[in-house]
Amino acid sequence: MARVGKGSVLLLDYDGTLAPFVKDRMQAYPYPGVPERLQTLSKLSDTRTVIISGRSVHDLEKLLPEASGLEIWGSHGLERKSATGEISVIPMDSQIQQGVKEGIKLCVDLAGQEQCERKPFGVALHWRGASEQEALRLKNLVEPLWLHLCERYELDIHSFDGGIELRPKARNKGTVVEEILNTTPKDAIIVYLGDDLTDEDAFKALGDRGLKVLVREQSRPTLADVQLIPPEELLQFLDQWIAAIQKRTA
């Protein structure tokens, strides 16, 4: 990674990539060692570090206050906080808001409050920690009715590790990567680290422009070029990345 430095961009998913999965989502703190490395990255010039997550920016900042100096795209790209703290949000029209409202009600009525997470722009049905049978039961209860909503409103259902989410069609991690590529020099070195199915959109958008890294213990069909097993290999990668930038800018 000797050439990393000027024009380098590191794109990072959060859950499953920088933080292990736990049953209570608001307890999903990063792996030990990750916050310090992100803090170091936020202080380096000539490099851009971006967190791209399905979580809201608000949630991410609670779990990872060290990321406050980094650029964050939350809610699958529907909101963005710049490295200097300006927040921009994609407006949701009233029709989509109505669709999401109906989606939340269906989720809560059918699966119960506990399983449903209201997000700033959508709703997630979670089954992490449930038996396979219970997970399937919850999915079969909610998904068909959400599919009806998708026919009536500009909404999509996305699968993630441990659940499904109903959200506006407008954005996903792939569109975020496209936007970032548009503002990145052609010769920049770009790496994307992600673990989940939603990161495959990002891998696809990145194509040959950068290195696509699957961060995950088990392998699975993926568009990624390489795989890292967290946390050790992830921390090693971050150290090498930081060292290469420091060397370049020294």
Q: Which chain residues interact with Mg ion by CB under 5 A?
A: 13, 15-16, 195-196
Give 37 or 173: the residue with its C-beta nearer to Mg ion: 173
Give 163 or 168: the residue with its C-beta nearer to Mg ion: 163
CB 180 to Mg ion: min, Å:
17
Give 16 or 103: the residue with its C-beta nearer to Mg ion: 16
For the stretch 195-232, what's the b/e string if a residue is b when 16 or more beta carbons lie within 10 angstroms of its beta carbon? bbebbbbbbebbeebbebbbbbeeeeebebeebbebbe
Measured at the alpha carbon of residue 146, what is the angle toward residues 176 and 62, in degrees to the nearest 5?
Answer: 45
Give 16 or 210: the residue with its C-beta nearer to Mg ion: 16
Q: Are strands 8-12 and 123-126 parallel, antiparallel or unpaired?
A: unpaired
**What are the Cα distances from residue 188, in Å, to 1, 101, 171?**
12, 41, 24
CB 46 to Mg ion: min, Å:
27
CB 108 to Mg ion: min, Å:
24
Question: Which of 163, 159, 179 shows the shortest CA–CA distance to 171?
Answer: 179
CB 17 to Mg ion: min, Å:
5
CB 52 to Mg ion: min, Å:
9
Question: Which of 204, 206, 229 shows the shortest CA–CA distance to 216?
Answer: 229
Secondary structure element (H or E) that encloses residue 81, with its range:
strand 79-81
Give 184 or 198: the residue with its C-beta nearer to Mg ion: 198
